[in-house]
Structure 1
Amino acid sequence: MAKFRYDILDNEIQQKAIKFRRDHGFSNAEPIRLKSLLLKCNVLTVFRQLSEDFSGMAVKIGEDRFMMVNHDHSLGKQHFTIAHELYHLFIQENFISQSCVTGRFDRKDIEEYKADMFAAYLLLPQEGLTMGINPMELSNPDTIRLETVMKLEQYYSVSRRAILQRLKNIGVITNKTFELYKLDVRRSAAAYGYEMDLYLPGNKDLVLGDYGVKAHQLFENDVISESHYLELMRVIGYNPNDQQFENEKNKDIA
């Protein structure tokens, strides 16, 4: 596919990201609270330990949407994965399921490329980025300061690689600065006084959505057996024989 075609494609994806923001009540500048968005969109989301090269997956069955995210990745990387999977679940036509390695922007897989571009546009809107950059840094490629980059990545809660890729995409930096600023990410953030949460794994075994409610309804309606119900609940960390749950139950009774 010729470059011109990719230019058209990128613009189409950007417009879809802008519309998605607008449809869900976000301006073209503010950061997105992804956990709140997932709950609002009724996307059952599970954070689990996956292999290092496995970012996540998405499944859509009818109107039901499911997402799994690798909690061993940094929070910044997880946020990009969530936005990537939102493309599959809400934008891609005739989508059923997909296992993903996000952030590669690989044109050999067109849907994965579009999902990466959608994530970049959704999380890092150009209007917001340009508002957050000094006009002198904005108008002269490769003059943007590292502290400006870190301020943007903190504000939008994305990884260093994601913000650098986006700045490169809009012409603020060249590959030279990209390669320079992608080094020593945690050390540089700590040196400027930022907390490390964004750069470390998190959301261990977290479940967002009504997984437990749906499982309980299936049990109450005799669709599944008690043993099947308990098996489903153990997936999200509930064990009725756990002493912690016994203590909590006794408190409720008292």
Structure 2
Amino acid sequence: MLINNNIISKKAAEFRQDNGLNSSEPVLLKSVLLSNNVLTLFKPLSPSFSGMAIKSGENRFILINSNHSLGKQHFTIAHELYHLFKQPDFRFKSCQTGRFDKSDINEYHADLFAAELLMPEDGLYKHIPDAELAKDKIQLSTIVKLEQYFNSSRSALLYRLKHLKLISSEKHEEFRYDVKRGAVNLGFDTKLYEKGNDGLIIGQYGQLAKELYDKESISESYFMSLMMDIGKDIYSDLTDEPGQ
């Protein structure tokens, strides 16, 4: 399969349009996952494992590494959305995202799609001062503002700015370091650069497990085990006092 950046840009724009987003606003990923019925789980995983996507018929599932920063997690979600909704004949893939490695064409396309989806060109230009819209003129304060606005990791934003020829390789390297400290010095919140979401579930996990149990597709003990995985003790819940 040939690399065609324009096709991926078009797919990202189409996905925005399909989800009621204009060409410049940030993506509310939780809302997108819910509206598209993508069951999403966040678990602490090894550093090299960013996430995983599975598609079976109309069922779609994403697993995200909660040990990564929130910005990185957002990028991984967008990466997995490409696999689930735009990659032809997709079924399953475990991913190390943000590498932009052209030797794996589907992973490169997913990374490119994620960058375009999260940080649309119109939106970036809208929030960069005119005086900084030339190569290597952008300031750290603007970079931090952009990543905060689009809920993006620094590495993904820098790739996007370099792709748009707004920064050189030298500036790319300069802005890679002291990310959290730079945000603090500028008075920004640092939550984006920290891990989180451990145990979070987006979607109807419990409902799906109950449907499988009701259809006798899984045993009662397995149903209980699935619910315990998300912190739900069914027997304990059933013995709660009325009104509690």
TM range (shorter): over 0.9
Q: TM-score, normalised by structure 2?
A: 0.96
One of 155, 170, 175 as aligned partner of 1:181: 175
One of 143, 160, 165 as aligned partner of 1:149: 143
One of 94, 119, 125 as aligned partner of 1:124: 119
Asked if residue 95 in structure 1 is aligned to residue 90 in structure 2, the reply is yes
Asked if residue 207 in structure 1 is aligned to residue 201 in structure 2, the reply is yes
CA drift of 1:225 comes to 2.0
Inter-partner Cα distance in structure 2 for 1:194 and 1:223: 49
Inter-partner Cα distance in structure 2 for 1:38 and 1:157: 16
* Between structures 1 and 2, the one with greater helix share: 1
Q: Which residue of 2 aligns with 1:26?
A: 21
CA drift of 1:220 comes to 2.5
Inter-partner Cα distance in structure 1 for 2:178 and 2:210: 47
**Number of residue pairs matched?**
244
Q: Which residue of 1 aligns with 2:241?
A: 250
Sequence identity, in percent?
49
Q: Which residue of 2 aligns with 1:40?
A: 35
Asked if residue 226 in structure 1 is aligned to residue 215 in structure 2, the reply is no
Amino acid at match of 2:152: V
Any idea what SS the aligned residue of 1:104 has?
A: coil
CA drift of 1:48 comes to 0.5
Q: Which runs of 5+ in 2 are unaligned?
A: none
Amino acid at match of 1:159: S
Deviations 1:118-168 (A, max 9, x none): 000000000110111112211x21110000000000000001111111000
Contact 2:12–2:113 (CA<8 Å) still a contact in 1? yes
Inter-partner Cα distance in structure 2 for 1:193 and 1:28: 28
One of 93, 99, 102 as aligned partner of 1:104: 99
Any idea what SS the aligned residue of 2:94 has?
A: strand
**Where do 4+ consecutive residues of structure 1 move more than 3 Å?**
none
Inter-partner Cα distance in structure 1 for 2:225 and 2:164: 49
CA drift of 1:17 comes to 0.2
Relative to structure 1, the CA distance from residue 238 to residue 98 in structure 2 (aligned partners, 3 Å threshold; closer, same or farther) is same
Any idea what SS the aligned residue of 1:250 has?
A: coil
Q: Which runs of 5+ in 1 are unaligned?
A: none
Q: TM-score, normalised by structure 1?
A: 0.92
CA drift of 1:246 comes to 7.4
CA drift of 1:241 comes to 6.0
Deviations 1:26-57 (A, max 9, x none): 00000000011000010000001110010000
Amino acid at match of 2:141: E
Q: CA RMSD in A?
A: 1.6
Amino acid at match of 1:194: F
Inter-partner Cα distance in structure 2 for 1:175 and 1:246: 60
Any idea what SS the aligned residue of 1:65 has?
A: strand
